[in-house]
Amino acid sequence: MKLWKMNGAGNAFAVFDARDRKFTPTTEQLREIAKTMQADQIMAIEADLRADAFLRIWNADGGEVKACGNGTRAVAHLLLEEAGTDEVKIQTEADLLKGSRAENGLVSVDMGSPLMGWEDIPLSEKMDVRGVDVKIGPMDNPILSLPAVVSMGNPHAVFFVDDVDAYDIPAIGPLIEWHPVFPEGVNVGFAQIIDDETIRLRVWERGAGLTKACGTGACAALVCASRAKKTGRKVRMILDGGDLIIHWDETTDHVIMTGPVELEQTLEV
C-alpha cells in the first residue's frame, strides 16, 4: 500500500492509498502511526462511486472525524496530479467537497456552507452561537469568554483575542475541548484580527492538540469574524505553518480555502 507523508501549511498528514483494499487500523495502531509519522491526522483514500474518492479521517488520538480542510486539500493535490485534471470531487463523512488547482501551485477546496444552528455544532443546549456561555478563569474576571461557534463539518469555538501569543494554548485548549457545553468536543481557535483582510490564528485541535495549521479552523474563524463584522468575507489567515486564503462567497454561501500543499515523502508499506 502506498503511504504519503504530506503537509498543508504545516498541518501534517499520513495518507494511505486504500482504494484497492480494506484499511481498518485499530485506535492503538492509529496513535502509533501518528507518533511515528509526526502526523496531526491519518487519512485513507478509499474508492467511491459517488466521487473521485472517499476520504476517511482520523485525528492523532485515533478518533475518527468527519472533516479536515487541509487534509482534503492535500488529497485533492494527489488526485489532481494523478488524473491530470483541474477539479476533483472528494466524498467525506461531512459532505461532497470539490478540490481544484489555483494560481502559483496552490490548491483550493470548496468546503461548502458553514452550519450555524446550535444543534449543528452541536451544543448541549440552545445558546446564541455568536457568544456561547463558556468562561476560562475567575467567573467575575475571566481571561477568555463567550466564544463564537460554527460547524465546518466539525465543531469550532473561536475566541477573538488582542494578542494570540499571550495565551498558554496547550494549557487552555484542553479545558475547552471537552467542556460540557460541547458534547462531541470542539476545536478551539484563538483569532487575532490584524485588519479587515488579515487574521492571525492558532488552533487547538480536538484529538490532535496544538497544530501548525487547521483548515476547518481557518474557515470557522473567518465565518465567525465576518459574521461579527470584524472582517470582510475574504482574508489572509496567518497560521504557525503558513498562510491560507479563506473566502466566504456571498453568492453561494460556500467557504473556499486556498493554500500550499507539500509532498514530503512517498513510501510503500
CB 53 within 8 A of CB 44: no
Segment holding 53, helix H or strand E: strand 53-59
Is residue 68 among the annotated active site residues?
yes
HEC sequence for 78-143:
HHHHHHCCCEEEEECCCCEEEEEECHHHCEEEECCCCECCCCCCCCCCCCCCCCCCCEECCCCCCC
**Residues whose CB falls within 8 Å of the CB of residue 161, separated by 6 or more in sequence, listed in order:** 144, 167, 190, 191, 192
For helices 215-227 and 69-83, the axis angle rounded to 10 degrees is 120
Cis peptide upstream of residue 25 (ω within 30 degrees of 0) = no
DSSP code at position 218 = H
- The Cα–Cα gap between 238 and 110 comes to 19
**Residues whose CB falls within 8 Å of the CB of residue 242, separated by 6 or more in sequence, listed in order:** 9, 10, 212, 213, 259, 260
| Cα separation values, 247 from 132, 151, 252, Å | 24, 16, 11
Give the active site residue among 75, 132, 161, 214. 214
Is residue 219 among the annotated active site residues?
no
Give the active site residue among 6, 55, 68, 150. 68
Q: Which cell is 61 given?
A: 488520538
Catalytic residue list: 68, 214
